Structure 1
Amino acid sequence: MPDTAARHSPSIPILVYHQISEAPPKGAPFRGLYVAPTAFARQMALLKLLGYEGLSMSALLPYLCGEKSGKVVGITFDDGYLNNLAHALPVLQRHGFSSTCYAVSNLLGKTNEWDRAIGIAQVPLMTADQLRLWVAGGQEVGSHTQNHVRLLKTDATTAQAEMTQDKAALENLLATPVQHFCYPYGEYAEPHVAMARQAGFQTVTTTRRGRCAVKGDLFELPRVPVVRSTSLPVFWLKIATAYEDRKNA
Protein backbone atom coordinates (compact mmCIF):
# COMPACT_ATOMS: atom_id res chain seq x y z
CA MET A 1 0.00 0.00 0.00
CA PRO A 2 1.23 3.59 -0.60
CA ASP A 3 2.80 5.43 2.30
CA THR A 4 0.04 7.93 3.00
CA ALA A 5 1.97 9.66 5.79
CA ALA A 6 4.98 10.22 3.53
CA ARG A 7 2.79 11.46 0.70
CA HIS A 8 1.15 14.05 2.96
CA SER A 9 4.25 15.00 4.94
CA PRO A 10 4.75 18.78 5.15
CA SER A 11 6.89 20.48 2.51
CA ILE A 12 8.74 23.77 2.91
CA PRO A 13 9.60 25.96 -0.09
CA ILE A 14 12.94 27.74 -0.22
CA LEU A 15 12.73 30.53 -2.80
CA VAL A 16 15.80 31.39 -4.85
CA TYR A 17 16.33 34.81 -6.41
CA HIS A 18 19.32 36.31 -8.18
CA GLN A 19 18.87 39.94 -9.23
CA ILE A 20 16.08 42.21 -8.02
CA SER A 21 16.21 44.74 -10.83
CA GLU A 22 14.62 45.63 -14.14
CA ALA A 23 15.68 43.15 -16.82
CA PRO A 24 18.13 44.10 -19.59
CA PRO A 25 16.82 44.40 -23.19
CA LYS A 26 15.14 41.43 -24.84
CA GLY A 27 17.67 38.91 -26.11
CA ALA A 28 20.16 39.49 -23.27
CA PRO A 29 21.62 36.23 -21.86
CA PHE A 30 19.95 34.90 -18.71
CA ARG A 31 17.43 37.73 -18.73
CA GLY A 32 15.09 35.45 -16.81
CA LEU A 33 17.20 35.71 -13.65
CA TYR A 34 16.04 39.29 -13.13
CA VAL A 35 12.93 39.90 -11.02
CA ALA A 36 11.59 43.45 -11.19
CA PRO A 37 11.45 45.29 -7.85
CA THR A 38 7.68 45.77 -8.25
CA ALA A 39 7.19 42.05 -8.88
CA PHE A 40 9.31 41.14 -5.86
CA ALA A 41 7.30 43.54 -3.69
CA ARG A 42 4.04 41.96 -4.86
CA GLN A 43 5.38 38.45 -4.15
CA MET A 44 6.42 39.32 -0.61
CA ALA A 45 3.10 41.09 0.01
CA LEU A 46 1.26 37.96 -1.16
CA LEU A 47 3.28 35.78 1.23
CA LYS A 48 2.34 38.10 4.09
CA LEU A 49 -1.31 38.21 3.03
CA LEU A 50 -1.47 34.40 2.93
CA GLY A 51 0.02 34.15 6.41
CA TYR A 52 3.51 32.94 5.48
CA GLU A 53 6.63 34.00 7.36
CA GLY A 54 9.70 34.58 5.17
CA LEU A 55 12.82 33.23 6.86
CA SER A 56 16.60 33.05 6.50
CA MET A 57 18.20 29.62 6.46
CA SER A 58 19.14 29.87 10.14
CA ALA A 59 15.59 30.77 11.13
CA LEU A 60 14.21 28.08 8.81
CA LEU A 61 16.45 25.31 10.15
CA PRO A 62 14.23 24.28 13.11
CA TYR A 63 11.32 23.89 10.69
CA LEU A 64 13.41 21.81 8.28
CA CYS A 65 14.42 19.58 11.20
CA GLY A 66 10.84 19.15 12.39
CA GLU A 67 11.52 20.95 15.67
CA LYS A 68 9.03 23.71 14.81
CA SER A 69 5.97 23.80 12.59
CA GLY A 70 4.29 26.71 10.88
CA LYS A 71 3.53 28.44 7.61
CA VAL A 72 7.07 29.35 6.56
CA VAL A 73 9.04 30.01 3.39
CA GLY A 74 12.82 30.21 3.07
CA ILE A 75 14.10 33.21 1.08
CA THR A 76 17.53 33.06 -0.54
CA PHE A 77 19.52 35.24 -2.94
CA ASP A 78 22.50 33.92 -4.90
CA ASP A 79 25.71 35.88 -5.57
CA GLY A 80 25.34 39.04 -3.47
CA TYR A 81 24.18 41.64 -5.96
CA LEU A 82 23.99 45.25 -4.81
CA ASN A 83 20.45 45.45 -6.19
CA ASN A 84 19.41 42.95 -3.48
CA LEU A 85 20.37 45.52 -0.87
CA ALA A 86 18.77 48.41 -2.76
CA HIS A 87 15.49 46.77 -3.79
CA ALA A 88 14.90 43.63 -1.72
CA LEU A 89 15.98 44.73 1.77
CA PRO A 90 13.35 47.48 2.24
CA VAL A 91 10.58 45.09 1.18
CA LEU A 92 11.80 42.32 3.47
CA GLN A 93 11.99 44.74 6.39
CA ARG A 94 8.50 46.07 5.67
CA HIS A 95 7.06 42.60 6.14
CA GLY A 96 9.33 41.50 8.98
CA PHE A 97 10.97 38.83 6.80
CA SER A 98 14.54 37.55 6.99
CA SER A 99 16.57 35.97 4.19
CA THR A 100 19.98 34.54 3.31
CA CYS A 101 22.23 36.00 0.63
CA TYR A 102 25.04 33.70 -0.56
CA ALA A 103 28.13 35.87 -1.12
CA VAL A 104 31.41 35.39 -3.01
CA SER A 105 34.12 36.81 -0.75
CA ASN A 106 36.88 37.46 -3.32
CA LEU A 107 34.52 39.44 -5.54
CA LEU A 108 32.93 41.75 -2.98
CA GLY A 109 32.66 45.23 -4.46
CA LYS A 110 33.36 43.88 -7.95
CA THR A 111 30.97 42.37 -10.50
CA ASN A 112 29.65 38.97 -11.59
CA GLU A 113 32.93 38.21 -13.37
CA TRP A 114 32.12 34.49 -13.66
CA ASP A 115 29.42 35.46 -16.20
CA ARG A 116 31.59 37.68 -18.39
CA ALA A 117 32.65 34.98 -20.88
CA ILE A 118 29.05 34.16 -21.79
CA GLY A 119 28.08 37.76 -22.37
CA ILE A 120 26.02 38.43 -19.27
CA ALA A 121 25.96 42.10 -18.30
CA GLN A 122 28.32 42.98 -15.46
CA VAL A 123 26.44 44.19 -12.39
CA PRO A 124 27.84 45.47 -9.07
CA LEU A 125 28.12 43.07 -6.14
CA MET A 126 27.87 44.31 -2.56
CA THR A 127 31.03 45.59 -0.92
CA ALA A 128 32.04 44.39 2.54
CA ASP A 129 30.41 47.49 4.09
CA GLN A 130 27.23 46.95 2.11
CA LEU A 131 27.14 43.31 3.18
CA ARG A 132 27.35 44.55 6.77
CA LEU A 133 24.37 46.81 6.06
CA TRP A 134 22.50 43.74 4.81
CA VAL A 135 23.18 41.96 8.11
CA ALA A 136 22.40 45.09 10.16
CA GLY A 137 19.07 45.15 8.30
CA GLY A 138 18.10 41.80 9.80
CA GLN A 139 19.30 39.57 7.00
CA GLU A 140 21.85 36.75 6.84
CA VAL A 141 24.90 35.96 4.70
CA GLY A 142 25.81 32.49 3.47
CA SER A 143 28.80 31.16 1.55
CA HIS A 144 28.99 30.68 -2.24
CA THR A 145 32.76 29.91 -2.52
CA GLN A 146 35.51 32.50 -2.75
CA ASN A 147 35.41 32.88 -6.53
CA HIS A 148 32.09 31.35 -7.70
CA VAL A 149 33.92 28.30 -9.02
CA ARG A 150 32.58 25.26 -10.84
CA LEU A 151 33.20 22.59 -8.21
CA LEU A 152 32.97 19.77 -10.76
CA LYS A 153 35.89 21.32 -12.69
CA THR A 154 37.97 22.10 -9.59
CA ASP A 155 40.41 19.73 -7.89
CA ALA A 156 39.48 18.52 -4.41
CA THR A 157 42.05 20.61 -2.53
CA THR A 158 40.97 23.81 -4.24
CA ALA A 159 37.27 23.01 -3.84
CA GLN A 160 37.70 22.46 -0.11
CA ALA A 161 39.66 25.71 0.21
CA GLU A 162 37.01 27.62 -1.75
CA MET A 163 34.45 26.57 0.83
CA THR A 164 36.44 26.90 4.04
CA GLN A 165 38.24 30.11 3.13
CA ASP A 166 35.06 31.80 1.92
CA LYS A 167 33.37 30.88 5.20
CA ALA A 168 36.30 32.21 7.22
CA ALA A 169 36.59 35.42 5.20
CA LEU A 170 32.89 36.23 5.52
CA GLU A 171 32.89 35.44 9.24
CA ASN A 172 35.87 37.75 9.71
CA LEU A 173 34.18 40.54 7.76
CA LEU A 174 30.82 40.24 9.47
CA ALA A 175 31.85 39.08 12.97
CA THR A 176 29.06 36.51 12.84
CA PRO A 177 28.92 32.78 12.04
CA VAL A 178 28.39 31.80 8.41
CA GLN A 179 26.59 28.48 8.65
CA HIS A 180 24.94 27.99 5.26
CA PHE A 181 26.37 27.22 1.83
CA CYS A 182 25.09 27.13 -1.74
CA TYR A 183 26.74 25.14 -4.56
CA PRO A 184 27.69 27.59 -7.36
CA TYR A 185 25.82 26.84 -10.60
CA GLY A 186 24.08 24.06 -8.65
CA GLU A 187 26.95 21.78 -9.66
CA TYR A 188 28.37 19.31 -7.16
CA ALA A 189 29.16 15.65 -6.50
CA GLU A 190 29.15 13.49 -3.40
CA PRO A 191 32.68 14.55 -2.32
CA HIS A 192 31.49 18.18 -2.23
CA VAL A 193 28.66 17.22 0.11
CA ALA A 194 31.26 15.69 2.43
CA MET A 195 33.42 18.83 2.15
CA ALA A 196 30.49 21.03 3.14
CA ARG A 197 29.86 18.88 6.20
CA GLN A 198 33.54 18.99 7.13
CA ALA A 199 33.61 22.78 6.71
CA GLY A 200 30.95 23.03 9.40
CA PHE A 201 27.98 24.25 7.38
CA GLN A 202 24.54 23.43 8.75
CA THR A 203 22.65 23.49 5.45
CA VAL A 204 23.49 23.49 1.76
CA THR A 205 21.13 24.52 -1.02
CA THR A 206 21.10 23.37 -4.64
CA THR A 207 19.35 24.39 -7.86
CA ARG A 208 17.33 21.16 -7.91
CA ARG A 209 13.71 22.19 -8.14
CA GLY A 210 11.15 21.32 -5.51
CA ARG A 211 10.06 21.98 -1.96
CA CYS A 212 11.97 20.55 0.99
CA ALA A 213 10.77 17.55 2.95
CA VAL A 214 10.77 18.05 6.70
CA LYS A 215 13.57 15.97 8.28
CA GLY A 216 15.13 15.56 4.83
CA ASP A 217 18.77 15.86 3.73
CA LEU A 218 20.05 19.26 4.84
CA PHE A 219 23.07 19.15 2.51
CA GLU A 220 21.19 18.80 -0.78
CA LEU A 221 18.19 21.06 -0.27
CA PRO A 222 16.05 21.76 -3.35
CA ARG A 223 14.74 25.26 -4.01
CA VAL A 224 11.91 27.01 -5.81
CA PRO A 225 13.17 29.36 -8.55
CA VAL A 226 11.51 32.74 -8.98
CA VAL A 227 12.29 34.34 -12.33
CA ARG A 228 11.27 37.33 -14.45
CA SER A 229 8.32 35.50 -16.00
CA THR A 230 6.91 34.17 -12.70
CA SER A 231 3.39 35.61 -12.51
CA LEU A 232 1.68 36.04 -9.15
CA PRO A 233 -0.67 33.04 -9.70
CA VAL A 234 2.31 30.84 -10.64
CA PHE A 235 4.22 32.16 -7.63
CA TRP A 236 1.34 30.93 -5.44
CA LEU A 237 1.37 27.55 -7.19
CA LYS A 238 5.11 27.24 -6.57
CA ILE A 239 4.87 27.76 -2.82
CA ALA A 240 1.49 26.27 -1.92
CA THR A 241 1.15 23.23 -4.19
CA ALA A 242 3.17 20.35 -5.63
CA TYR A 243 3.84 22.40 -8.81
CA GLU A 244 7.62 22.58 -8.24
CA ASP A 245 7.83 19.07 -6.78
CA ARG A 246 6.62 17.66 -10.09
CA LYS A 247 9.33 19.61 -11.94
CA ASN A 248 11.91 17.37 -10.31
CA ALA A 249 9.91 14.15 -10.57
Structure 2
Amino acid sequence: MAVPILMYHKVAPVDPRSTLKGHYVSPRLFEKQMSALASRGFTAIPLNSLLTGDIAPRSFVITFDDGYENFHRYALPILVRHGFQATVFLVANAIGGTNRWDSEAGDVEERLMTLEQIRDAGKQGTQFGSHTLDHADLPAIGEAEAWRQISESREVLGGLLGTDIEAFCYPYGRKNPAVREMVVRAGYRLACSTEKGANNRETDPFALRRINIRRDTSLPVFLYKLWRDARNDG
Protein backbone atom coordinates (compact mmCIF):
# COMPACT_ATOMS: atom_id res chain seq x y z
CA MET A 1 0.00 0.00 0.00
CA ALA A 2 1.30 3.45 -0.92
CA VAL A 3 1.70 5.95 1.91
CA PRO A 4 1.94 9.63 0.87
CA ILE A 5 4.65 11.69 2.59
CA LEU A 6 4.02 15.42 2.96
CA MET A 7 6.94 17.86 3.16
CA TYR A 8 6.64 21.14 5.05
CA HIS A 9 9.21 23.69 6.16
CA LYS A 10 7.43 26.48 8.06
CA VAL A 11 3.91 26.86 9.43
CA ALA A 12 3.79 30.57 10.18
CA PRO A 13 2.67 33.89 8.72
CA VAL A 14 4.90 34.68 5.78
CA ASP A 15 7.76 37.10 6.42
CA PRO A 16 7.52 39.66 3.58
CA ARG A 17 11.33 40.00 3.59
CA SER A 18 11.88 36.32 2.83
CA THR A 19 13.41 35.17 -0.43
CA LEU A 20 11.77 31.76 0.12
CA LYS A 21 8.15 32.74 0.64
CA GLY A 22 7.00 29.41 -0.75
CA HIS A 23 8.37 27.67 2.36
CA TYR A 24 5.65 29.24 4.51
CA VAL A 25 2.22 27.70 5.03
CA SER A 26 -0.10 29.88 7.05
CA PRO A 27 -1.46 28.42 10.31
CA ARG A 28 -4.97 28.96 8.93
CA LEU A 29 -4.25 26.94 5.77
CA PHE A 30 -2.46 24.23 7.77
CA GLU A 31 -5.50 23.91 10.03
CA LYS A 32 -7.75 23.59 6.99
CA GLN A 33 -5.51 20.89 5.51
CA MET A 34 -5.37 18.84 8.70
CA SER A 35 -9.11 19.25 9.37
CA ALA A 36 -9.92 18.12 5.84
CA LEU A 37 -7.81 14.98 6.24
CA ALA A 38 -9.20 14.17 9.69
CA SER A 39 -12.79 14.56 8.46
CA ARG A 40 -12.04 12.12 5.63
CA GLY A 41 -10.71 9.48 7.97
CA PHE A 42 -7.00 9.93 7.29
CA THR A 43 -4.42 9.25 10.01
CA ALA A 44 -0.95 10.83 10.22
CA ILE A 45 1.71 8.36 11.35
CA PRO A 46 5.42 8.82 12.10
CA LEU A 47 7.80 8.12 9.23
CA ASN A 48 9.39 5.14 10.95
CA SER A 49 6.01 3.43 11.06
CA LEU A 50 6.71 2.56 7.43
CA LEU A 51 9.28 0.06 8.71
CA THR A 52 6.62 -2.15 10.23
CA GLY A 53 4.85 -2.95 6.98
CA ASP A 54 1.54 -3.05 8.88
CA ILE A 55 -0.02 0.23 7.83
CA ALA A 56 -3.71 1.01 8.19
CA PRO A 57 -5.63 2.31 5.17
CA ARG A 58 -5.74 6.08 4.75
CA SER A 59 -2.45 6.57 6.54
CA PHE A 60 -0.06 9.34 5.54
CA VAL A 61 3.17 10.86 6.86
CA ILE A 62 3.88 14.51 7.69
CA THR A 63 7.50 15.67 7.67
CA PHE A 64 9.02 19.04 8.56
CA ASP A 65 12.52 20.01 7.48
CA ASP A 66 14.95 22.00 9.65
CA GLY A 67 13.08 22.13 12.99
CA TYR A 68 11.79 25.70 13.02
CA GLU A 69 10.45 27.17 16.23
CA ASN A 70 7.20 27.89 14.44
CA PHE A 71 6.58 24.12 14.31
CA HIS A 72 6.25 24.14 18.09
CA ARG A 73 4.25 27.36 18.18
CA TYR A 74 1.79 26.85 15.32
CA ALA A 75 1.87 23.35 13.82
CA LEU A 76 2.16 21.16 16.91
CA PRO A 77 -1.07 22.31 18.63
CA ILE A 78 -3.00 21.66 15.40
CA LEU A 79 -1.48 18.22 15.00
CA VAL A 80 -2.22 17.29 18.61
CA ARG A 81 -5.80 18.50 18.29
CA HIS A 82 -6.36 16.12 15.38
CA GLY A 83 -4.42 13.22 16.89
CA PHE A 84 -1.78 13.42 14.17
CA GLN A 85 1.94 12.71 14.53
CA ALA A 86 4.77 14.23 12.52
CA THR A 87 8.46 13.61 11.92
CA VAL A 88 10.80 16.61 12.16
CA PHE A 89 14.30 16.57 10.68
CA LEU A 90 16.70 18.46 12.96
CA VAL A 91 20.00 20.14 12.18
CA ALA A 92 22.00 18.85 15.13
CA ASN A 93 24.46 21.73 15.56
CA ALA A 94 21.74 24.38 15.11
CA ILE A 95 19.32 23.40 17.88
CA GLY A 96 18.26 26.61 19.60
CA GLY A 97 19.96 28.61 16.85
CA THR A 98 18.87 29.93 13.48
CA ASN A 99 18.69 28.88 9.84
CA ARG A 100 22.14 30.24 9.06
CA TRP A 101 22.40 28.19 5.82
CA ASP A 102 19.57 30.35 4.44
CA SER A 103 20.36 33.65 6.15
CA GLU A 104 23.97 33.52 4.93
CA ALA A 105 22.55 33.22 1.41
CA GLY A 106 20.41 36.33 1.90
CA ASP A 107 17.16 34.98 3.35
CA VAL A 108 15.61 36.14 6.63
CA GLU A 109 16.85 34.68 9.89
CA GLU A 110 14.39 32.33 11.60
CA ARG A 111 14.62 30.73 15.03
CA LEU A 112 14.92 26.96 15.37
CA MET A 113 13.47 24.94 18.23
CA THR A 114 15.36 24.76 21.48
CA LEU A 115 16.13 21.41 23.05
CA GLU A 116 13.37 22.05 25.60
CA GLN A 117 10.84 22.64 22.81
CA ILE A 118 12.02 19.55 20.94
CA ARG A 119 11.64 17.39 24.02
CA ASP A 120 8.20 18.86 24.68
CA ALA A 121 7.16 18.06 21.10
CA GLY A 122 8.46 14.53 21.59
CA LYS A 123 6.27 14.09 24.64
CA GLN A 124 3.31 15.04 22.45
CA GLY A 125 4.03 12.40 19.84
CA THR A 126 6.50 14.04 17.46
CA GLN A 127 9.39 11.92 16.23
CA PHE A 128 12.72 13.19 14.99
CA GLY A 129 15.26 12.44 12.31
CA SER A 130 18.59 13.89 11.23
CA HIS A 131 19.19 16.67 8.71
CA THR A 132 22.99 16.50 9.27
CA LEU A 133 25.07 18.51 11.72
CA ASP A 134 25.05 21.78 9.76
CA HIS A 135 22.54 21.44 6.89
CA ALA A 136 25.44 20.42 4.67
CA ASP A 137 25.34 20.03 0.90
CA LEU A 138 26.63 16.47 1.13
CA PRO A 139 27.82 15.75 -2.44
CA ALA A 140 29.75 19.04 -2.47
CA ILE A 141 31.83 18.71 0.72
CA GLY A 142 33.97 15.61 0.22
CA GLU A 143 33.39 12.11 1.51
CA ALA A 144 35.16 12.48 4.86
CA GLU A 145 33.14 15.54 5.85
CA ALA A 146 29.93 14.05 4.45
CA TRP A 147 30.46 10.97 6.61
CA ARG A 148 31.00 13.16 9.68
CA GLN A 149 27.83 15.15 8.98
CA ILE A 150 25.76 11.99 8.51
CA SER A 151 27.13 9.77 11.26
CA GLU A 152 27.85 12.28 14.01
CA SER A 153 24.45 13.95 13.68
CA ARG A 154 22.81 10.60 14.41
CA GLU A 155 24.96 10.17 17.50
CA VAL A 156 24.41 13.74 18.74
CA LEU A 157 20.64 13.66 18.30
CA GLY A 158 20.35 10.19 19.78
CA GLY A 159 22.28 11.34 22.84
CA LEU A 160 20.24 14.51 23.30
CA LEU A 161 16.87 12.83 22.84
CA GLY A 162 17.61 9.43 24.35
CA THR A 163 16.26 7.56 21.36
CA ASP A 164 17.49 5.78 18.26
CA ILE A 165 17.50 8.08 15.24
CA GLU A 166 16.25 5.95 12.36
CA ALA A 167 15.36 8.54 9.71
CA PHE A 168 17.52 10.89 7.66
CA CYS A 169 16.74 13.72 5.25
CA TYR A 170 19.19 14.94 2.58
CA PRO A 171 19.68 18.73 2.88
CA TYR A 172 18.55 20.46 -0.31
CA GLY A 173 17.56 16.98 -1.49
CA ARG A 174 21.11 16.50 -2.76
CA LYS A 175 22.57 13.02 -2.77
CA ASN A 176 24.62 10.62 -4.88
CA PRO A 177 25.32 6.88 -4.59
CA ALA A 178 28.23 7.44 -2.19
CA VAL A 179 26.12 9.64 0.09
CA ARG A 180 23.27 7.13 0.06
CA GLU A 181 25.67 4.36 1.06
CA MET A 182 26.98 6.45 3.96
CA VAL A 183 23.42 6.93 5.23
CA VAL A 184 22.92 3.17 5.18
CA ARG A 185 26.29 2.51 6.83
CA ALA A 186 25.61 5.06 9.59
CA GLY A 187 22.65 2.98 10.76
CA TYR A 188 19.66 4.88 9.44
CA ARG A 189 16.77 2.80 8.13
CA LEU A 190 14.93 5.39 6.01
CA ALA A 191 15.83 8.58 4.17
CA CYS A 192 13.74 11.30 2.54
CA SER A 193 14.61 13.19 -0.60
CA THR A 194 12.92 16.25 -2.10
CA GLU A 195 11.94 14.35 -5.24
CA LYS A 196 8.27 14.80 -6.00
CA GLY A 197 5.83 11.96 -6.33
CA ALA A 198 4.42 8.86 -4.79
CA ASN A 199 6.12 5.94 -3.12
CA ASN A 200 5.20 2.32 -3.65
CA ARG A 201 6.55 -1.11 -2.76
CA GLU A 202 9.40 -0.68 -5.26
CA THR A 203 10.62 2.68 -3.91
CA ASP A 204 14.13 2.81 -2.47
CA PRO A 205 13.64 3.38 1.30
CA PHE A 206 16.71 5.65 1.19
CA ALA A 207 15.23 7.87 -1.52
CA LEU A 208 11.64 8.39 -0.39
CA ARG A 209 9.68 10.90 -2.44
CA ARG A 210 7.53 13.58 -0.86
CA ILE A 211 4.65 15.91 -1.71
CA ASN A 212 5.95 19.45 -1.30
CA ILE A 213 3.36 21.61 0.46
CA ARG A 214 3.92 25.29 -0.18
CA ARG A 215 2.33 28.63 0.55
CA ASP A 216 0.25 28.45 -2.64
CA THR A 217 -0.89 24.81 -2.28
CA SER A 218 -4.64 25.35 -2.19
CA LEU A 219 -6.86 22.92 -0.33
CA PRO A 220 -8.29 21.28 -3.50
CA VAL A 221 -4.79 20.77 -4.92
CA PHE A 222 -3.57 19.48 -1.55
CA LEU A 223 -6.36 16.89 -1.36
CA TYR A 224 -5.90 15.84 -4.98
CA LYS A 225 -2.16 15.25 -4.53
CA LEU A 226 -2.67 13.18 -1.42
CA TRP A 227 -5.49 11.13 -2.99
CA ARG A 228 -3.43 10.55 -6.14
CA ASP A 229 -0.38 9.35 -4.25
CA ALA A 230 -2.39 7.19 -1.86
CA ARG A 231 -3.69 5.27 -4.89
CA ASN A 232 -0.23 4.55 -6.29
CA ASP A 233 0.47 0.99 -5.18
CA GLY A 234 2.98 0.30 -7.97
Shorter-chain TM-score tier: over 0.9
Write the letter of the residue equivalent to 2:2: S
Which residue of 18, 21, 30 maps to 1:31? 21
Q: Which amino acid aligns with 2:148?
A: A
Shift of 1:216: 2.5
Q: 2:181 aligns with which of 186, 191, 194?
A: 194
| Partner residue in 2 for 1:16 | 7
Selected match of 2:147 from 155, 160, 164: 160
How big is the shift at 1:31? 0.3
TM-score, normalization by structure 2: 0.95
Check conservation: 2:92, 2:157, Cα contact below 8 A.
yes
Aligned length: 231
User: Are 1:52 and 2:42 an aligned pair?
Assistant: yes
200, 208, 221: which is aligned to 2:208? 221
Q: 3-state SS of the aligned residue for 1:200?
A: coil
Q: Does the 8 Å CA contact 1:60/1:74 hold for their aligned counterparts?
A: no
Q: Per-residue displacement from partner, 1:16-73 (whole Å, max 9, x unpaired)?
A: 0001101122x731101000011111111111111111111122333xx4x4341111
Provide the C-alpha distance between the structure 2 equivalents of 1:38 and 1:102, rounded to a whole number of angstroms: 23
CA distance in 2, matches of 1:216, 1:72: 17
For the residue of structure 2 that corresponds to 1:12, the secondary structure is coil
Q: Does 2:132 align with 1:149? A: no
Q: Tell me the secondary structure at the aligned position of residue 122 of structure 2.
A: helix
1:128 deviates by 1.3
CA distance in 2, matches of 1:130, 1:242: 32
What's the CA shift for 1:215?
4.8
Runs of 4+ in 1 over 4 A off after TM superposition: none
* CA distance in 2: counterparts of 1:158 and 1:83, whole angstroms: 30
Q: CA deviation at 1:95?
A: 1.0
Deviation at 1:130, TM superposition (A): 1.2
C-alpha separation between the residues in 2 aligned to 1:54 and 1:239? 12
Counterpart-to-counterpart distance in 2, 1:185 and 1:194: 18
Residue of structure 1 equivalent to 2:89: 102
1:131 aligns with 2:118: yes
**AA paired with 1:15?**
L
Q: 1:56 to 1:242 in 2, by over 3 A?
A: closer
- Write the letter of the residue equivalent to 2:138: L
Counterpart of 1:235, as a letter, is: F
Amino acid across the alignment from 1:191 = A
Equivalent residue for 2:33, pick from 39, 43, 58: 43
- State the distance in 1 between where 2:51 and 2:78 align: 22
Question: Aligned to 2:120, what secondary structure does the other structure show?
Answer: helix
- Alpha-carbon separation, structure 1, partners of 2:229 and 2:142: 37
Separation (CA, whole Å) in 1 of partners of 2:62 and 2:91: 18
Supply the distance in 2 between the matched residues of 1:217 and 1:49 (Cα, whole angstroms): 31
Q: Is the 8 A contact 2:3 2:229 kept in 1?
A: no
TM-score, normalised to structure 1's length?
A: 0.89
